Amino acid sequence: YAKLSKMSENGVLSRAKVLTIDTMNPTVKKVEYAVRGPIVLRAVELERELSEGMKKPFSEVIKANIGDAHAMGQQPITFFRQVLALCSYPELLNDSTFPEDAKSRARRILQSCGGNSMGSYTASQGIDSVRQDVARYIERRDGGVPCDPDDIYLTTGASDGIVTMLKLLVCGEGATRTGVMISIPQYPLYSAALAELGAVQINYYLNEEKCWSMDISELQRALDEARRHCNPRALCVINPGNPTGQVQSRQCIEDVIRFAANERLLLMADEVYQDNVYAEGCQFHSFKKVLFEMGPEYSDTVELVSFHSTSKCYMGECGFRGGYMEIINMDDEVKAQLTKLVSVRLCPPVPGQALMDLVVNPPQPGEPSHDNFIKERTATLSALAEKAKLTEQVLNTIQGISCNPVQGAMYSFPRITIPEKAIQEAMEPDMFYCMKMLEETGICLVPGSGFGQTDGTYHFRMTILPPTDKLTILLNKVKEFHQKFTQQYS
């Protein structure tokens, strides 16, 4: 080993660093995460510059880059926050201004906590009573398909669960290295986690012409090609889709399950947008429900993990990092290993567990908070449905932009025509396009390249979360910018 050291100009001994870009974990270097990439860093800079009085061609930065509902002005559900306040400071249980159902919910959560405090560690898998509530929620959602609380693992947001499951799966070297199928476009957590774990990313393309649906023939193509150089073991599906906003049909889900069963792939269903369905004729079908409707040949054998979180839907509580995963047909020994693995991090954050409990067990008819809860939830979901429609409509009025219906989730992923001259000028044409839009209009979007797209096509992801008035301004600015950009490079 070398003790590298040298005298610097001021005579101080300077040692070469232990940890440099050349001597750090190479898999970490391969990680990319567009949702918080260079465009977003520049947006933060621009906000600072604006606040320092610097002149810009816009008066505010509008962030439509991330599904962060509260940051865009969406209000939290009153009942949820009342219960969290009661759990944080139980003195408030004596406060007569809090509704009784909020108090009884808080008491139940606190009784499940060591020393009746959210400050205690919980079981690594999550609080028992919360997992029971999650199981009952899933049973109701799936029309009575049974759910065992022992198959529920509470997580630190859905991301944590997804990374944990991928970690369990990865093994082998070279041609036997674990491969995982992910959609393109994808949510970049998947590619980032696979890069970090050194697993092989297997891309299957969603069909943009058919509203970002999944084609079994495309899955088969991707799988057959991948089998030449790795060991494909899992198939990830995001439904409703991120970044593409589609809602998969029941038939499609059944086909995918059959494909996974035939090809011996573990299924990972990212279902965090399960309440975000807007388009007429569309409906959320959980992978679990469809699996069980397909009969024991499938429901007794297909390994399925489904993820949910407190961050999306009508609650949008990203900051609390609450979530759960349900594991179905997992080998008992592997499950024991999973339980051991999650125990190393001790437990998911307790306020997030409490919030997850409220999401799966909201106020019931007859309880004092029920009407207001329904009112708030409906208002949020209706506003999102309206904004989904508005986004699609306005984008499709722009020549050179075409946008599939935003059937669900919180995103549009329109295809944009970039003039040949701009393509030749830029290394990454859609990054160039989005960065220019940010500098000229203050609108922060994420280029399609951050999610993956068919070669030679360009997109951006835009959330539908800004308030309607701001969204209208944003869409008009996009229109103006696109026209100007097209003109400039034609």
| Residues of span 234-273 touching a second copy by CB under 8 A | 234, 261-266
Any contact of residue 54 with a second copy (CB under 8 A)? no
Of 14, 207, 476, 483, the one binding a second copy (CB under 8 A) is 14
Closest CB 91 distance from a second copy, rounded Å:
8
Element (H, E) at 18: none
Residue 463 within binding range of a second copy, rule CB under 8 A: no
- Helix runs in 416-490, H state only: 420-425, 429-441, 468-488
DSSP 122-160: --TT--HHHHHHHHHHHHHHTTT----GGGEEEEEHHHH
C-beta of 124 vs 404, nearer to a second copy: 124
Which stretch, 296-304, 362-370, 419-427, 445-453, contacts a second copy (CB under 8 A)?
296-304
Contact call for residue 122 and a second copy (CB under 8 A): yes
Tokens of 250: 């029941």
Helix axes 78-88, 350-360, angle to 10 degrees: 140
C-beta of 208 vs 303, nearer to a second copy: 303
Nearer to a second copy, 128 or 215 (CB): 128
Taking CB under 8 A as the rule, does residue 216 contact a second copy?
no
Q: What does the DSSP 8-state code read for residue 2?
A: -
State the nearest-atom distance from the C-beta of 449 to a second copy, in Å.
16
Q: Does residue 144 bind a second copy (CB under 8 A)? A: no
Residue 296 touches a second copy, criterion: CB under 8 A: yes
In angstroms, what is the minimal distance from the CB of 270 to a second copy?
15
Q: Which phi and psi (to 5°) does residue 312 adopt?
A: -120, -145
Binding to a second copy by residue 321, rule CB under 8 A?
yes
Radius of gyration (C-alpha) of the chain in whole angstroms: 24
Phi (first) and psi of residue 213, to 5 degrees: -80, 170
Give residue for tokens 């001021």.
10
Question: Residues 134, 139, 145, 149: what is their CA dihedral angle, to the nearest 10 degrees?
Answer: 30
Q: x/- string (CB under 8 A) for a second copy, residues 146-185?
A: ----------xx-xx--x---xxxxx--------------
Residue 82 near a second copy by CB under 8 A: yes
- Spell out the residues 6+ positions from residue 332 whose beta carbon is closer than 8 angstroms to its own: none
Binding characters for a second copy, 324-353, by CB under 8 A (x = yes): -----xxx-xx--x--xx-xxxxxxxxxx-
In the block, residue with structure tokens 């906000």: 47
**Shortest distance (Å) from residue 331 CB to a second copy:** 5
